[in-house]
Amino acid sequence: MNLNKLSESDLVNLAIDLKKKKNCVILAHNYQSLPIQKIADFVGDSLQLAKLAVQSKADMFLFCGIRIMGETVKILNPDKKVILAHKTADCQLANMKSSEELKELKQKYPNAEVVCYVNSSVTLKVKSTITCTSANAVKLIARLPIEKKIIFVPDRNIGKWVEFKTGRKLIMFDSYCHTHNQITLSETLQVRQKYSDYSLIVHPECDIEVCKEADEVLSTSQMIDFISKNDKVIIGTETGLFDQMKDRYPAKKIIPLSQKMICEDMKQTTLKIAVQSLIDEKNEVIMDEDVIKKTRRSLDRMFQILL
CB 221 to ligand 13P: min, Å: 6
CA distances from 115 to 73, 172, 302 (A): 19, 10, 9
Q: Which is nearer to ligand 13P, 30 or 175 (CB)?
A: 30
Residue nearest to ligand 13P (CB): 45
Q: Which is nearer to ligand 13P, 46 or 77 (CB)?
A: 46
Q: Which is nearer to ligand 13P, 14 or 133 (CB)?
A: 133
Q: Which is nearer to ligand 13P, 46 or 175 (CB)?
A: 46
CB 136 to ligand 13P: min, Å: 10
CB 13 to ligand 13P: min, Å: 29
CB 3 to ligand 13P: min, Å: 28
**Cα separation of 169 and 152, whole Å?**
10
CB 133 to ligand 13P: min, Å: 5
Task: Give the footprint of ligand 13P on this chain (CB under 6 A).
Answer: 30, 45-46, 119, 133-134, 177, 203, 205, 219-220
Q: Which is nearer to ligand 13P, 74 or 106 (CB)?
A: 74
Please name the residues in contact with 94: beta carbons below 8 A apart, sequence gap of 6 or more.
66, 68, 119, 120, 121, 124, 154
Q: Which is nearer to ligand 13P, 177 or 275 (CB)?
A: 177
Q: Which is nearer to ligand 13P, 106 or 295 (CB)?
A: 295
Q: Which is nearer to ligand 13P, 210 or 275 (CB)?
A: 210
Do the beta carbons of residue 46 and residue 281 sit within 8 Å? Answer: no
CB 89 to ligand 13P: min, Å: 12
For the chain, the three-class secondary structure string (H helix, E strand, C coil) is CCHHHCCHHHHHHHHHHHHHHCCEEEEEECCCCHHHHHHCCEEECHHHHHHHHHHCCCCEEEEECCHHHHHHHHHHCCCCEEEECCCCCCCCCCCCCCHHHHHHHHHHCCCCEEEEECCCCHHHHCCCCEEECCCCHHHHHHCCCCCCCEEEECCHHHHHHHHHHHCCCEEECCCCCHHHHCCCHHHHHHHHHHCCCCEEEECCCCCHHHHHHCCEECCHHHHHHHHHHCCEEEEECCHHHHHHHHHHCCCCEEEECCCCCCCCCHHHCCHHHHHHHHHHCCCECCCCHHHHHHHHHHHHHHHHHCC
CB 46 to ligand 13P: min, Å: 6
CB 66 to ligand 13P: min, Å: 8
